[in-house]
């Protein structure tokens, strides 16, 4: 059985993260919309001893009629104290491409130094380890997922009519895709599809719980693989989150 790993990073802001063990055909519970960068990420996983994720975030916001693009690479890692636990162990120093991640209060690690951007030309992870986490030195060769249909994402979504978002050939280097529509009152619709899905249709019934007003739409292509290190399973994730901010939900 494959295991699902889900991360949500919106416009470069650390959101809650959920890593949930289930079949790739199952639909995990949605994570909360973006929170403030100072919030420690929450990670839940069922069958591994760690996850290390490289996340590229691409966001567009329209302010006073001006389109403002933001692109950011970041990284997240966490190591449960026991398989399935939502408490995390100190893993010592964690780096991606020799750049250090900051340990949060819950022992999850996040790259936060925006003055020293991460490059994803290569993905070389290093973990110094601790009494419960083995030392890890791993080069992830997964390609960075992409979505070329970003400019065509809707600016207005009608709750009564529903919406269809084209995927198909616009998605590359991904085995799964998340599509989320979120209002600014912490309500979210999440759809999960295979990497070769032609489109994502969200019905009026699914949109009914959203609050009219402003919101965001996000397309997130991603890949993962697991590796056995010192007899324990660790997950390595590569994801790109494309977010269109300030859409109208009516």
Please give the tally of structural domains in the chain: 1
Query: Secondary structure of the chain in the HEC alphabet?
Result: CCCCCECCEECCEECCCECCCCCCCCCCCCCCCCCCCCCCCCCCCCCCCCEEEEEEEEEEEEECCEEEEEEEEEEEEECECCCCCCCECCCCCEEECCEECEECCCCCEECCCCCCCCCCCCCEEEECCCCCCCCEEEECCCCCCEECCHHHCCCEECCCCCEEEECHHHEECCCEEEEEEEECCCCEEEEEEECCCCEEEECHHHHCCCCCEEEEEEEEEEEEEEEEECCEEEEEEEEEEEEEEEEEEC
pLDDT value at 53 more than 70: yes
What pTM value is reported for the model?
A: 0.80
147-151: Cβ within 8 A, 24+ apart: 147/171, 147/172, 147/219, 147/221, 147/240, 147/242, 148/172, 149/219, 150/58, 150/60, 150/219, 150/242, 150/244
| 213 or 24: which leads in pLDDT | 213
Give a yes or no: residue 41 inside a domain. yes
Q: From the centroid of its chain, how far is CA 132? A: 26
> Of 244, 93, 82, nearest to 157 (Cα)?
244
Q: Domain of 17? A: 9-147+220-249
Give a yes or no: residue 59 inside a domain. yes
Contact 247, 158 (CB under 8 A): no
For the chain, give the percent of residues with pLDDT over 90.
64
pLDDT in tens, 217-230: 999 999 889 999 99
pLDDT in tens, 127-162: 999 999 999 999 999 999 999 998 899 999 999 999
Query: In the beta sheet, which residues pair with residue 244?
Result: 60, 217
pLDDT in tens, 180-199: 999 999 899 999 899 999 99
Give a yes or no: residue 189 inside a domain. no
pLDDT in tens, 62-121: 677 777 778 889 999 999 998 888 889 999 999 999 999 999 999 999 998 988 999 999
Give a yes or no: residue 50 inside a domain. yes
Give a yes or no: residue 153 inside a domain. no
Distance CA 226, CA 241 (A): 21
Give a yes or no: residue 30 inside a domain. yes
Look at residue 60 in the predicted model and tell me its pLDDT: 77
Give a yes or no: residue 49 inside a domain. yes
Look at residue 151 in the predicted model and tell me its pLDDT: 86
Mean pLDDT, rounded, for 15-32? 35
| Dihedral over alpha carbons 239, 5, 40, 249 (to 10 degrees) | 70
| 36 or 48: which leads in pLDDT | 48
**Strand-pair category, 163-166 with 199-202:** antiparallel
Give a yes or no: residue 135 inside a domain. yes
| 26 or 238: which leads in pLDDT | 238
């Amino acid at each position: 059985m494959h295991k699902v790993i889900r991360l949500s990073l919106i416009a470069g802001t650390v959101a809650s993260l959920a890593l949930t063990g289930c079949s790739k055909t199952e639909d995990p519970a949605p994570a909360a919309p973006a929170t403030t960068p100072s919030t420690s990420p929450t990670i839940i996983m069922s069958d591994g001893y760690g996850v290390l994720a490289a996340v590229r975030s691409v966001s567009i916001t329209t302010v006073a009629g001006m389109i403002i693009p933001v692109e950011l690479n970041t990284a997240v890692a966490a190591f449960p104290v026991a398989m399935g636990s939502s408490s995390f162990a100190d893993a010592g120093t964690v780096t991606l491409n020799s750049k250090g991640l900051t340990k949060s209060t819950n022992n999850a690690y996040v790259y936060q130094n925006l003055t020293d951007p991460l490059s994803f030309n290569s993905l070389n992870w290093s973990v110094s380890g601790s009494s419960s986490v083995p030392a890890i030195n791993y080069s992830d060769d997964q390609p960075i997922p992409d979505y070329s249909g970003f400019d065509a994402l809707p600016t207005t979504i009608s709750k009564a009519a529903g919406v269809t978002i084209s995927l198909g050939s616009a998605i590359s280097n991904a085995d799964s895709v998340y599509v989320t529509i979120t209002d600014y009152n912490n309500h979210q619709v999440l759809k999960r599809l295979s990497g070769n899905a032609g489109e994502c249709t969200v019905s009026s019934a699914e949109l009914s719980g959203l609050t009219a007003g402003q919101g965001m739409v996000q397309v997130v292509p991603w890949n993962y693989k697991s590796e056995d290190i010192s007899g324990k399973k660790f997950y390595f994730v590569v994801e790109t989150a494309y977010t269109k901010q300030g859409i109208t939900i009516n």
